[in-house]
Homo-oligomer: A and B are copies of this chain.
C-alpha cells in the first residue's frame, strides 16, 4: 500500500467520506507502518461517540438487532458506525468481500458506516485492531458506534472492557442463553435485551433474568440497575425501547462520572495491551536469535531451569534500546 497522506485522510474522514474512513481502518487493521501516525492524528478528535457493544449467542438475532438499532438511531438524526467483529455474522463475510459491506437498507445511507473485521489472534473474540477501528469511527464523527461481537465467554468480557455500554442479547427458549448469563454476562451487561419476544418462553426468560439480576449484591441508591427490554428486532418492535435504555444508561454514566471513568479504564487497558504486544514482539525478535535458542537448549539439557532462562531473556529484552 502506498504511503497515505494521513492529515488529508483524517480531514476527509471527518467530512464523512466513506473511502477515507475505510482507508484509515485498513491502515489500522493492517498494522501499517503509518499506524502510529494515524493514531496520533485521530487522538484529538476522539471521545464523542457512544460506543455500544452488542453480544449474544448465535441465533439470538444479533445482526438483525444491530440493523434495527441503526435504523432507530438514523431516525433520530445520528451518524452511526457499525463494527462487526463476529465470524458468524452475515456482515463479517464482508471482511472478505471488501471494505464497505452492503447492509441492505443502510448500504446507500451516507450517515451509516459499516465495517466488518475478521478476528485475529483471539478465538472468536474481539480483534486486537477493534479498539483502533472504533477510534477511527469516533474521530470520523459517528455519534454512535455499535460493536457487534460473537457471544463466547471471553469476548463478552472483552466487549465490556471496550464499550461505554454493553448490551447482552438473549432469546426465549435458549437454555444456553441463561446458562451463559450465569457464567458471567450478568456482571457485564448494562442493558439486557430479550429478542424474539413474540416467541414462547419470553416471559420466563425475562423473569429469570430479572430474578438473577436481583440476586446480585445490593445496589446503592443511584446505582445502575440493568433493565431487561423485550424486542422483536425483525419487525422493529421494541427497538425504540432499547434505544431509550441505551440513552438512559449514557445519561446516567455522564451524570455520575462513570463514563469518564470507564473511558479511562478502557484507555488503560488499550495502552497496556499495546505495551504487552510491543514487549512480546521484542521477545519474538529474539526467537530467530541465538539467545533464545541457546537458552532453550540449556533448559532441554537440564543445565538451566526455565525461570533462570527467562530471567536472562528478559534482561536481554529490557536492555535493548526502546
Q: Give me the interface of A with B, judged by CB distance under 8 Å.
A: 35-36, 39-40, 42-47, 123, 131-132, 153-154, 260, 263-268, 270-272, 274-276, 278-280, 283, 287, 292-293, 295-297, 299-311, 313-315, 317-320, 322
For the complex with contacts A43-B303, A271-B306, A278-B311, 18 further pairs of A-B residues with Cβ separation under 8 Å are: A39-B308, A40-B308, A43-B299, A43-B305, A44-B302, A132-B306, A264-B293, A264-B297, A266-B300, A268-B296, A270-B299, A271-B295, A272-B292, A274-B309, A275-B283, A276-B279, A311-B322, A314-B322
B residues less than 8 Å from A306 (CB atoms)? 39, 131-132, 267, 270-271, 274
When the two chains form their complex, are residues B293 and A39 in contact, meaning their CB atoms are under 8 A apart?
no
Residues of B within 8 A of A279 (CB): 276, 279-280, 283, 314, 317-318
Chain A interface, >50% SS class: helix
A292 proximity list for chain B (CB < 8 A): 268, 271-272
Chain B residues contacting A274 (CB-CB under 8 Å) are: 306-307, 309-310
A88 to chain B, nearest CB (A): 15
Q: How far is the CA of A302 from the CA of B263 in the complex (A)?
A: 11
Question: Are A309 and B44 in contact, with the CB atoms below 8 A?
Answer: no
Q: Which residues of B contact A293 (CB under 8 A)?
A: 264, 268
On whether A314 and B270 interact (CB within 8 A), knowing A39-B305, A39-B306, A43-B302, the answer reads no
